[in-house]
Structures are given as C-alpha cells and as structure tokens.
Amino acid sequence: MDNTSTFALVIYCLVACCLIMLMVWLWAHKIKNAGVVDIFWSYNFPVIAIILLLLAPGFETRKLLICGMVIIAGLRLGTHLAVRIIKHLSVEEGRYQQLRKEWAPNPERKFFFFFQFQAISNVLLAVPFIIITLNTSSQLSPLEYIGAVLWLISVLCEAIADAQLSAFKRNPENKGKVCDKGLWGYSRHPNYFFEWLMWVSYFVFALASPYGYLAIISPAIILYLLLKVTGIPATEDQSIRSKGEAFKLYQQKTSAFVPWLKK
C-alpha cells in the first residue's frame, strides 16, 4: 500500500473521531458534564478498528484478530464507564469540576479543544493497529500470538479490577472509605496498570509487522499520561479531597501502579 493510501486511512480515522467528539462536546455542553468524553474516547477505538477492518489491505485473518481485540477492549471499557457516568449524569466528576474552575470564565471553549485533542490522541494511539492492518504477510508470527495472550490477560485483569471497585462502591457501608480489596490491595490503580499492559500487548503484536517498532509510541504515551497527567495525579488529588487521611494512609502502604505487596 502506498503512502498516499496510508495517509487516507489516517485521515478517515481522524475525521470520524473528530466528528464524534464534536457531537459529544455539544451533548456535554448541554448537560454541563464533560465526563462523558471518557466514554467516547474508549468507543472511538472500535470505530477506528472498523475503518481499518474495512479499508486496510492487510492479511484478513490478522486484521480480524487485531481489530476484534480492539473492538472488544474498547466496548468493554466504554460501556463500563458509561454505566458509571450515566448513573450520575447530573453530577460532573470531581476532576472535570476542577478543570471547569481552572478554565473559568469560559470553560466550554477550552473543553471543545480538549475533546478534539482526545480525538487526535485516539488516532495517534492507533499507530499499532494501522501498522498491523497494513501487514500483508499470510503467516502469523509467534510475537502476534504472544501479544494476543498478553492482551487477554490484561483485559481480564482490568475488568476484574473495575468489577471489584464497582462492588465496593455499591455497598453503602463503604461510603467515604478507600477500596483496598482484591487487586486494589496490591496497587492503588490496578485498572490503569492493566490498561497500560494492554497497550504493551499491541506493541508486542505490532513487532511482527514492518515498522512495528514505531508502535512503542502508544504504550509510551499511555504510561506518561497515566503517571504524570490525567491518570494517577488527577485521580489521587480527587481521592485526597474526598477521603482525606484514609487515602494518604493507603498511599503510604500500597504500590501506586505496578501490583506489589503492601509495605
């Protein structure tokens, strides 16, 4: 496939994601809840996967495998977030409330660009999927099987972490308490860790394709965002505001990211 056609694929994905985020921003503006962006950030990856499945020229079995993985993971996370956010649609999550305060007096304009940046990040993070679906080799590599197994482990463990936290929050007796049960007893953010591990699995899968090493950009960006920007810092700041000393004690005893034994 020539560079022009590859560029066209990227443009199709970018236009689709930007249009989706434009509609989501209009909805968020109407309901005054920017948290819905998280739902559609996840759902945009299945959209990209469908575009690549239909238009990329790679080996059909490989395309079905990687696009199926992306669709399953994106729908699972997006739906999990949708269930959580829509239950409290009239109440915006604390981190977005904080952004709204910081971006006053005109937060909606800044949220517009924030939403569009999320769409751009979707396409940038999709580099492994593009590389893989351009591969026309009719033989699957051991690296691709290893990547698929690592993906399965990471998606299952992330789902378990999400389910454990949801179950903890459903219990009225736990209101104001810190979840330190199950995987949350070994990491303060096991969902983030296994989300990152999933992106590592896409990188491993892509290594079997030409220029697959470029796919390192995705787990590298995800790791930076989780550790330094929108992941752990914002989430823990909000947890300290809502849970105070209980969360600070949890911070002292429990690994921030990689699951590990308590101190």
Choose the weakest-confidence range: 23-37, 82-96, 104-118, 202-216: 82-96
pLDDT at 89 over 60: yes
Whether residue 93 is predicted with pLDDT greater than 90 in this model: the reply is no
Nearest of 28, 206, 6 to residue 114 by alpha carbon: 28
The model carries a pTM of: 0.92
Average pLDDT over residues 33-55: 97
Tokens of 247: 């969360």
**Which of 47, 223, 33 is closest to 122 using CA atoms?**
47
Q: Please report which confidence band the pLDDT of residue 1 belongs to, taking 50, 70 and 90 as the band edges.
A: low
State the Cα–Cα distance between residues 178 and 84, nearest whole angstrom: 18
Q: Span 189-202, mean pLDDT?
A: 97
Q: Which of 59, 2, 45, 72 is nearest to 208 (CA)?
A: 59
Judged by DSSP in three states, 200 sits in helix
What's the CA gap between 234 and 224, in Å, rounded? Answer: 13
Give the C-alpha separation, 163 to 184, whole Å: 11
| Mean pLDDT lowest among 79-83, 84-88, 187-191, 195-199 | 84-88
